[in-house]
Amino acid sequence: MTTAPEWKPDVYARFARERRRPFDDLLARIGDIDPRIVVDLGCGDGSLTVELARRWPQARVIGIEPSPQMLAKARAHTDANVEWREQPAEDWRAGGDGPIDLLVTNAVLQWVPTHRELLLRWLEALAPGGVFAMQVPGNTAAPSHELMRQVAAEHPRRAELVPALSRARAAGGPEEYIEILTAAGLTVDAWETTYLHLLPAGEAEHPVLTWIRSTGLRPVEQTLSTDEFAAFTREYEARLRQAYPERPYGVALPFRRVFAIGRRAGGDAGTRPRVVGLDHVQVACAAGDEDAQRAFYVGLLGMTEIPKPSLLAARGGCWFAGGEAVIHVGVEAGFTPARKAHPCLLVPDLDTLADRLADAHLPVEWDTSIPGIRRFHTRDGSGNRVEIQQVD
Cα(295)–Cα(379) distance, integer angstroms: 12
- pLDDT, mean over the chain: 91
| Beta-bridge partner residues of 262 | 132, 188
CA-wise closest residue to 117 among 267, 333, 307: 333
Tens-digit pLDDT profile for residues 73-130? 999 988 788 999 999 988 898 777 879 999 999 999 988 889 999 998 899 999 999 9
- Left if phi > 0, otherwise alpha if psi is -120 to 50, otherwise beta: which for 44? left
- pLDDT at res. 362: 97
- pLDDT at res. 375: 97
Strand 304-306: give its sheet, edge to edge: 281-285, 325-331, 318-322, 304-306
pLDDT mean over 358-363: 96
Tens-digit pLDDT profile for residues 44-63? 899 999 999 999 999 999 99
Instruction: Evaluate if residue 273 carries a pLDDT over 70.
Output: no
Beta strands 304-306; 344-347: pairing state? unpaired
Amino acid at 26: L
Residue 263 · residue 289 · CB < 8 Å: no
- pLDDT at res. 135: 97
Tens-digit pLDDT profile for residues 224-242? 999 999 999 999 999 999 9
Of residues 16 and 173, which shows the higher confidence score?
173
Rounded to 5 degrees, φ, ψ at 154 are -95, -5
pLDDT band at 13 (very low <50, low <70, confident <90, very high): low
Helices within 217-279 (DSSP H only): 218-223, 226-243
Give the pTM. 0.64
Tens-digit pLDDT profile for residues 21-45? 999 999 999 988 999 999 999 998 9
Residue 157: CB atoms within 10 A of its CB come to 15
Is residue 231 packed enough to be buried (19+ CB in 10 Å), middle (13-18) or exposed (0-12)? Answer: middle
Residue 106 · residue 47 · CB < 8 Å: no
